[in-house]
Amino acid sequence: MISKIIRDPEPLETFFIPEKIIHREKQIRDIFTSVILPLKNGIGSSAFVYGQSGTGKTATMKRIMGSEDEIHIFYENAISISSFKKVMGDLAYSMGISIEGKFSYESVFRSIERIRNKNVLLIVDESLNLIRKDFEGLYTIMRAGELFGSSIGTIIISLDNPALHLTAADMRKLGVFNEIKFDKYTIDQLGDIVRSRAEISLYPGSFKEDTIIQIAQLCERSGSARMAIEILQKSAFSAQYGGSECIDAEDVRAASAMINPFITESKLMELDFREILLLQSVCQNLMDGGDCTMESLTKTFSMNTEIHGIKTPDTAFIYRSIRHLETLDIIESRLESFGPGMGVRKKLYVNDVPVEVLMEKIKEISGRL
């Protein structure tokens, strides 16, 4: 018997953009009031959009892009781009402006102003590394209105609040800007997203409400719709190939075991080399003694940086990076009490994957850096 679980596989793919982005009404409104509406009146303003992986940032932007034809929208994923100037070059190129060799920001903004027949919106996705590497470029683009009289709107999307990755001086230089946060989805919101995806991709009767809830629960900590949809997809395939009539709890468990290593790898790609070394140090502590305190971490980390001939970063860097690793949901820190009135100390733990598996991944990734 051929079992009938999947009716249409496409909505189960991560690139699929649903007709309606649910539970993001506020963010969509904020994007309109801070960037899109001013832009329609010829005023270029910019906004930072940030939130963890799977919180719907890309899907929301693509949905907005699909519904605006009065504006020229240029979208770029900056994951492997090393400067904002390259992004501007690509934007100009998309408008038919040919740029050869070296060019200045001023010339490219002025050319765009000269030839444009629509207002222009630039969206730079996955830009955390770019923000960290090219602050001058970020500053120039966000201040292009004052600097060059440009009226381009800009949306900079990243995984984390840019303020946490810039110095206080840089932040002062940027001045006031709009920030729009995409929170982790709650368990109920995850349930709604998974349910609506299941309804358009699976046959009626092939999934139960229990399954939707089980998937939402598994993803509660990450708050990621991407993770939830991936588990739904893999559970559906598991049930289909197993010849079942309906997805069951075992299919969901198998699916979730399959996606964790993948999630970890894509998260590790977000880190810079010093953060990888810090994470490696956390793992070493956990493997050696089972405990990772701030004290033991600082020691191991300075050893590891020395091995690689890197100057040991200061404590502020360590705290900032720990926060970043926590935001990515790779590690978790807990405060443990020494007893009543005896104070607390911070201990670090690894999430989701066995420490040895994570160590292997780190080795692979750092070999590529």
Ligand X SMILES: Nc1ncnc2c1ncn2[C@@H]1O[C@H](COP(=O)(O)OP(=O)(O)O)[C@@H](O)[C@H]1O
Which residues bind to ligand X, rule: CB under 6 A?
A: 14, 16-18, 21-24, 51, 53-59, 193, 225-226, 229
- Residue 111 near residue 158, CB atoms below 8 Å: no
CB nearer to ligand X: give 51 or 153.
Answer: 51
For the stretch 267-297, what's the b/e string if a residue is b when 16 or more beta carbons lie within 10 angstroms of its beta carbon?
bbebbeebbbbbbbbbbbbbeeeeebebebb
10 Å Cβ neighbour count for 201? 23
Pairing label, strands 153-158, 119-125: parallel
CB of 129 to Mg ion, least distance (A): 14
Which entry of Mg ion, ligand X, none binds 5, CB below 5 to 8 A by partner kind?
none
Number of residues that bind Mg ion (CB under 5 A): 1
Among 184, 187, 250, 230, CA closest to 24: 184
Does residue 166 come out as left (phi exceeding 0), alpha (psi in the -120 to 50 range) or beta? beta
Q: Distance between CA atoms of 90 and 96, rounded to whole angstroms? A: 10
Contact string 15-54 vs Mg ion (x = CB under 5 A): ----------------------------------------
Residue 250's DSSP bridge partners are none
CB of 56 to ligand X, least distance (A): 3
Identity of residue 87: V
CB nearer to Mg ion: give 57 or 274.
Answer: 57
CB of 57 to Mg ion, least distance (A): 5
CB nearer to Mg ion: give 125 or 134.
Answer: 125
In a 13 Å sphere around the CA of 331, the CA atoms on its Cβ side amount to: 28
Which entry of ligand X, Mg ion, none binds 54, CB below 5 to 8 A by partner kind?
ligand X
- Residue 225 near residue 55, CB atoms below 8 Å: yes
Which entry of ligand X, Mg ion, none binds 81, CB below 5 to 8 A by partner kind?
none
CB nearer to Mg ion: give 52 or 58.
Answer: 58
Q: Which residue is nearest to ligand X (CB)?
A: 56
Which entry of ligand X, Mg ion, none binds 124, CB below 5 to 8 A by partner kind?
none
CB nearer to ligand X: give 55 or 281.
Answer: 55
- Report the Cα 197 to chain-centroid distance in Å: 21
Among 58, 127, 281, 327, binds Mg ion (CB under 5 A): 58
CB of 220 to ligand X, least distance (A): 15
CB nearer to Mg ion: give 181 or 299.
Answer: 181
- Report the Cα 184 to chain-centroid distance in Å: 11
- Which of helix, strand or coil describes residue 134? coil
Tokens of 128: 């955390």
Binding-site ranges for Mg ion (CB under 5 A): 58
